[in-house]
Amino acid sequence: MPLKLIESTMINNVISPEYDEDGRVLRRVRSFVRRQGRLTSRQQQALDNMWPKMGLDYQPELSDMEAIFGREAPVVLEIGFGMGASLVTMASQNPEKNFFGIEVHVPGVGACLASAEEENLSNLRVMCHDAIEVLNNMIPNQSLDMVQLFFPDPWHKVRHNKRRIVQPEFAQLIRNKLKTGGAFHMATDWQPYAEHMLEVMSEAKGYSNLSENDDYVPRPDSRPVTKFEMRGQRLGHGVWDLIFERVE
């Protein structure tokens, strides 16, 4: 598929309209804002070269993870991978696992594919779409070994808190997609959001907090430290990791 057609299709398909019984478009509160941004030549080339190999188009039907990756292996899903630095690092360091990344911003998808091409990865697939719709319509129940949500938009203003992706309904959606014993790993550098995540997840049924103190866990080695995070550490910013395991 030509580059411009790939890019246009990705942008237009990020958000699927939802309709009521009378055919009117429904407005759903979303956790992200569409920011198209400009593609660099590196990102454009990666989309052109790698999308046919690693890119997945949104389809409102359940997917077969084994068929997508061409093998049976544990599946790690990352929601909102940004520019893909940590996702590519994890996929490179864990060739025995399959990694599936969802990101709504095309430049980030392009950057991720460029890095994946440089690392010659075969265990990574990416999608440019609303993660909620992907989870609801494409991911089979009990098919994921890990779900990762690193540094989502905290929506600082109180009137915007409803846009935070971590809500009770989202916690149960993730739980449905995890295998028993699978884990939901979150990280944020905004303490009020960390407290919000902890409250939501502590009240969610079917989870066990893997923290010894029922709060936060030390950053596991499995989550790479990004340049953004290192900059925050130099400025004295904290980072909070939470890991909850599906127990039933």
64 assigned to a ligand binding site: no
153 is in an annotated binding site: yes
Amino acid letter, 241: D
Burial state string for 145-178 with b = 16 or more CB within 10 A and e = fewer than 16:
bbbbbbbbbbbeeeeeeebbbbbeebbebbbbbb
Separation in Å, CA 237 to CA 139, 153, 198, 223: 35, 16, 19, 17
Is 244 annotated as a binding-site member? no
Residue among 41, 51, 42 at smallest CA distance from 7: 51
d(CA 82, CA 44): 16
Give the amino acid at 141.
N
- Is 130 marked within a binding site? yes
Q: Is 215 a catalytic residue?
A: no
Where helices occur in the chain by DSSP H, the ranges are: 3-12, 41-54, 65-69, 85-93, 106-118, 131-137, 168-177, 191-203, 227-234
Choose, from 153, 214, 215, 241, the residue flagged as catalytic: 153
The radius of gyration of the chain's CA atoms, rounded to the nearest angstrom, is: 18
Is position 4 annotated in a ligand binding site?
A: no
Q: Annotated binding residue at 229?
A: yes
Pairing of β 124-127 and β 144-150: unpaired
CA pair distance 78, 80, nearest whole angstrom? 6
Known binding-site residues for S-adenosyl-L-methionine equal 78, 103, 130, 153
Binding-site annotation: residue ranges for substrate:
157, 189, 226-229
Annotated binding site: 78, 103, 130, 153, 157, 189, 226-229
Which residues are tagged catalytic? 153
